[in-house]
Structure 1
Amino acid sequence: MMSNTTAGGAESDGNEGVRRPTSLADADALDAFVADADAALVEFYTDGCGICASMEPVLGNVARALDVDVALINPRDDPPLVERFDVRSVPLFVLFVDGEPVARRAEGFIPGDDLTAWVDERVE
């Protein structure tokens, strides 16, 4: 099945309304992603993190519920990125509004309703 990119930067599998997190390769891609979005939720993760993987469908639900852009980035091979966002545990969720980080959460698995409410409270 081919994947398309929607105007919001999230990948679509061809079904209307289906949004998936965009995978970002590095700090430059992260900066470009958040610069292009009014609001963006980014999960910092590492390979092999089961909780991180279980959050991906939750992020897709948040994207659909709130019409925010969502992305995933693995900062493991980018020490300056780890330092810049003070990544001490994963998953780490950072909410960006107008390109600036405005809030963060790093408490393991977060149910979709909780994450949606957390984002919604901070995005005007």
Structure 2
Amino acid sequence: MAADTSTTADDRPVDLDTGDDLDAFLATHDVALVEFYTKGCTLCQSVEPVLGTVATATDVAVATVNPRTDLSLVEAYGVRSVPTLVLFVDGAPVDRLAEGFVGVERVLELIRTHAPERVPEDGTA
């Protein structure tokens, strides 16, 4: 599946297939959160609702990509475990969470650190 090329954040995560899809996604969104996951990973599955909430509650584009479909992503983004969430600003990775399950507030905290204007002022999702 090709990347969504809209210039605003979507209300739900976009599924990407390859590094080219990821590059296109990052080129069209100035702030993006990407989950690197693998099929069958129960922790990855448990993060899916968190990503949906973040996509809906913030002005941040959210995507998911399975690095097993494009192994170059593992090295390019230093994916050592899944799920790994990487926050990109202007196409460059600026921070990551690779600690297993993370809740909405932890992800919002990550975004607030690098793009506070993208998180609602009331601080809730």
TM > 0.5: yes
Q: Give aligned-pair identity as a percent.
A: 53
Unaligned segments of structure 2, at least 5 residues = 117-125
Verify the 8 A CA contact 1:21 1:72 in the aligned structure 2: yes
Structure-1 residue corresponding to 2:8: 8
TM-score (norm 1): 0.83
Matching residue of 1:99: 91
Deviation of residue 22 (structure 1)?
A: 0.2
CA distance in 1, matches of 2:6, 2:92: 23
Calculate the TM-score normalised by the size of structure 2.
0.83
Using the alignment, how far apart are the partners of 1:106 and 1:77 within structure 2? 20
Secondary structure in 1 matching 2:94:
strand
Question: Where do residues 24-103 of structure 1 align in structure 2 (5 Å cutoff)?
Answer: 24-103=16-95
Summarize the Cα distance change of 1:32–1:67 in structure 2 as closer, same or farther, 3 Å threshold: same
Matched, 1:119 2:111: yes
Question: Corresponding residue for 1:16?
Answer: none
1:14-70 deviation per Cα after TM superposition (whole angstroms, max 9, x unaligned): xxxxx2100001000000101100100000000000110111111111122221000
